[in-house]
Amino acid sequence: MAKDNNKKSLRFSIYVYIELVSALLFTLFSFSYHADISLLALPLAAIYTAITVYFCFFKVILKKDAKRIPVILRLTQYLPFVLLFSFIVRRAGKFGLPYWYDVVTVILWCFVFVFSLVLSWCMNEKRIVKTTENWNVPYTKKPKLHGARWVLFEIVDWIDALVQAVFMVLLVQIFLMQLYVIPSESMVPTFLVKDRVFVTKLNCGPKFPLTEIGLNDFTKYKRGNIVVVRNPHYKIDRQSEIKTVTSQLVYMLTFMAVNMNTDENGNPKYDPLVKRVCGIPGEQLVMQDGVLYRRTKDNDVFTPVQEDAKYACWDLSKLHNSILTKVETLPLSSYEINRNRSNLSTVVQSGAENYEAMVNLEEKRRNYDLNSAAFRAKELVRSMQNLSFAANTSGSFAKPDSLNEYDLFKGMTFIDTAREIMNTSEGLEWFKLFMTSWIDGKDNNRDIYAESNFRLNVMTKMCYGELIVRSAQLIRSNISMADISGDQVINDVLQDVLMLDWYIRGLLDSRNMPVFPANNEAGEAQYIPEDCYFMMGDNRFNSLDFRHSNSVKEADLTKDDPLSLKYNSMMDPHYVNKRLIIGKPSYRFWPGNRRGLVQPR
């Protein structure tokens, strides 16, 4: 028995030596010669490591004194977490570190972590009694505490257990599994706001924080897979990653009371995101009227992606009532759901009607006769020439400040523009160019998305031309401004304008997507690269996803019209490398009535 205990004692000492040597080497690798926050890494690691070495080696192992076993138990348990914090601080400076440096440091930290667990197991009260039986001062069980001392001990013990649990949960979240709370309705009906899911990470190549060291991701993601992915709308660089890791640590230590993971405006980041894989390597995509098309090197004809139709949710009003009663927003509805949801049926009906109106407008656009429109555009120009007061009179013409489709009709400024056109030859010339600049390009070869936007541009221009000519006719007849504004013909055209503006400004970028990746300058098709994926949310009208930018810019409706109308666009399709995929939602555990494995619809 004594021989066995001596072996246990020797084994215990070896574990301590490995732990301490690993910690000392890690501390040396925490050195920084840059005058920034990274300088704090070395003293942080050195002070705690020195204290650990002092008690573990000099006070316990060297003297064979087990009285301080509880002290070294706590020191070794916290050692990997203190060194992890030092690791983060060392990388929080202005300069990065070479790959080999990260490899060595991560290996050393893994040794510290593993042997801290081994030592915790060895220092279990029953085991340590046998291990130290032949020591100079063997371990003796502490007498039971009573009264205030017992209460204080229990409080400290609970705090210690909670803090250690936080760190362990953080490590589990980094490498194995994470609890994720759905923040938005971008994945309705698959997920609702505040659904809680377990996200598995082990098969997605988890990496050690702030490094590229970790497991390889050998997964070949398929179309329809739901993944958790870093939000590419935010800058993902070393400094932002430091902030993300630090915020996770603070978030856990404060029991979710302090969230430091905010953007430059102080708003909480929507990062990471839950999205569905819709485009895979080797594909070129385009989306028109809610239908996703694909082509490949082997088949250069765009064909509908049938699988995507299973996931895409455009008309929320058709959802099952069990889901619909929990939805917070119906994007197409003209109304918002009130707090007690008493107007839900009205909201749903409005959403269904607006969806039908959108589909009808898309059908009208598809059937729009460009030849007839070209003839009508020239006819409007001739009419305006006949209505002009002075067709040959030069003068200063104040053309519209903006060709943005919204600005062009705002405040009925077209009436003043019509008067300007009637009074100068420059105005007539501008009107002629504006109304006919698209005609030369009407027969150009375009893809389905470009053709659609070209037609929207023409339809909107034709409405503007009709309004200009009708306003000129009324001005010729000396009709007052108030009567012009109330003219039935003008109001009928404005109804068409409202529909076009509703679609262009509110739906165009959600309902459609240009060819992506875009063809090169020679017109040759480009394809999503290997290990890269394109993703969207299921709730397509309520998903800021990989079709969009995080900012708005003014864009031309078409490139085939030198005087194209413009609109405010967020369109910026992009794919992401699979290294930004950090997990897969595997199981929804809340709410209880919808718990179960996460499966594609």
pLDDT tens digits for range 51-99: 999 999 999 999 999 999 999 999 999 999 999 989 988 888 888 889 9
Share of the chain above pLDDT 90, in %: 62
Confidence of residue 319 (pLDDT cuts 50, 70, 90): very high
- What is the tens place of the pLDDT at every residue in 238-294? 677 777 777 776 766 665 566 667 767 777 777 789 999 999 999 999 999 999 999
Report, as an integer, the average pLDDT of 12-34. 94
Report, as an integer, the average pLDDT of 534-542. 95
Q: What are phi and psi of 295, to 5 degrees?
A: -145, 160
Report, as an integer, the average pLDDT of 331-349. 93
**pLDDT score of 391 more than 60:** no
Report, as an integer, the average pLDDT of 365-393. 90
Report, as an integer, the average pLDDT of 332-342. 92
Average pLDDT score over the chain: 90
**pLDDT value for 102:** 92
Confidence of residue 171 (pLDDT cuts 50, 70, 90): confident
Map tokens 């929320």 to a residue: 316
As given in the structure block, the two tokens for residue 396 are 């200063």
> Which residues, other chains included, contact 51 with Cβ-Cβ below 8 Å and sequence gap of 6+?
75
Which of the pair, 286 or 33, is modelled with greater confidence?
286
Residue 161 has a CB neighbour count (10 Å cut-off) of 10
**pLDDT value for 2:** 61
**Long-range CB contacts (within 8 A, 24+) of 480-489:** 481/415, 484/415, 485/412, 485/415
**pLDDT score of 1 more than 60:** no
The DSSP string of 446-473 is --HHHHHHHHHHHHHHHHHHHHHHHHHH
Cβ–Cβ under 8 Å, residues 259 and 270:
no
Task: Find, among 172, 232, 237, 249, the residue nearest to 210 by Cα.
Answer: 237
Which of the pair, 34 or 284, is modelled with greater confidence?
284
Q: Which amino acid type is present at position 488? A: Q
**pLDDT score of 115 more than 70:** yes
**pLDDT score of 10 more than 70:** yes
CA 300/CA 284 separation, integer angstroms: 9
Which of the pair, 208 or 316, is modelled with greater confidence?
316
Angle at 561 between CA 557 and CA 567, to 5 degrees: 20
CA 315 from chain centre, in angstroms, equals 23
What are residue 596's DSSP bridge partners? 588
**pLDDT score of 422 more than 80:** yes
**pLDDT value for 202:** 82
